[in-house]
Amino acid sequence: MELKDKMVLVTGSTDGVGRVVAERLGAAGASVLVHGRDEGRGKDVVAAIGAKGGKAEFLVADLASLAEVRRLAEAVRAKTDRLDILINNAGVGTGGQVAKRQVSADGYELRFAVNYLAGFLLTSELLPLLKASAPARIVNVASAGQQAIDFDDVMLTHGYSGVRAYCQSKLAQILFTIDLAEQLKGTGVTVNALHPASYMDTTMVRQAGVTPWSSVETGAEAILNLAASPALEGRSGLYFDGQRESRADAQAYDEKARRRLRALSLELIGQSSKTSREQHS
């Protein structure tokens, strides 16, 4: 995909791999919508992109609140009448082995809410814009750390661990990717997921007490591959490990599990399946 003059939204792009991706996109001539929670850091990224001749704007939102996710989507629609690439990158890490269970502004388990549900809602809100801009791409930044969703205790109220919560939320992203790809057939919008790189040198990894052993540049290359590579044109519903097509946890390929997750997600965001079908049609 030729990136010059394309409009791209990268969530979680004020730090780590998201920032590198945003700066690379800006350098390639794309107009970048930078997202984060911290206005100061957001302005720094916009300035860095501008200093190299790129175009960027900052949009602030805390994805731990569904109301703010909707407000972010409204801000995107107010800024542009097209969206060529959506990169759902924002996330919360494991918090380490001793992480305590936290909840979002809506009362949902925090990692499920931020890593998965926010992207589910944001993508749903922006689908009309993406379809109007087709061919368009959605990239979901997941992880090789995956654990099957326990539909009897999705919010992990029993036996909580930050690692389990993180891995479940990342697999949920992949189930969503495959499910959405089916719904988007024939629209010109593709959606793929990836594990960018293992233990990149990011704040998230360091906070988990892990010594980084991959660079954010390596992860950024993998994300940009899905966002712009001509080889991915028209290909959808895939999971990549870095730049190699791979296989996710078996639950990702269970149609019943994907339907259950979709129904639960619609319920959690307060949207009926009828409304969802209308959006995707």
pLDDT at position 209, please?
A: 61
For 226-255, what is each residue's pLDDT tens digit?
Answer: 999 999 999 999 999 999 999 999 999 999
- Predicted confidence at residue 143, as pLDDT, reads 95
Q: What order do you get walking across the sheet with 239-241 strand by strand?
A: 55-60, 31-36, 7-10, 85-88, 136-141, 189-195, 239-241, 244-246
Mean pLDDT (the chain, rounded): 92
In the chain, what are the domains?
7-280 (3.40.50.720)
Lowest-pLDDT choice from 50-54, 92-96, 263-267: 92-96
Q: Which two tokens stand for residue 181?
A: 């790809």
pLDDT digits 0-9 by tens, 189-211: 999 999 997 655 556 655 656 56
Q: What is the pLDDT of residues 158-170, one digit of tens each?
A: 999 999 999 999 9
- pLDDT tens-digit readout, 83-124: 999 999 999 988 866 679 999 999 999 999 999 999 999 999
Give the lowest-confidence range in 53-62, 184-193, 215-224.
215-224
Q: For the whole model, what pTM was predicted?
A: 0.93
Q: Which residue has the tokens 């040198």?
A: 201
Question: Quick one: pLDDT at residue 204?
Answer: 63
pLDDT of the residue at 153: 98
- Of these residues, 166, 199, 239, 253, which one is catalytic? 166
Q: Is 166 a catalytic residue?
A: yes
- In terms of Cα–Cα distance, which of 177, 62, 187 is closest to 114? 62
Measured CA to CA, the distance from residue 32 to residue 27 in angstroms comes to 10
**How confident is the model at residue 94, as a pLDDT?**
86
Residues 6+ apart with CB under 8 A from 36: 12, 13, 14, 15, 42, 45, 58, 60, 90
Q: Summarize the confidence of residues 263-276 as an average pLDDT.
A: 76
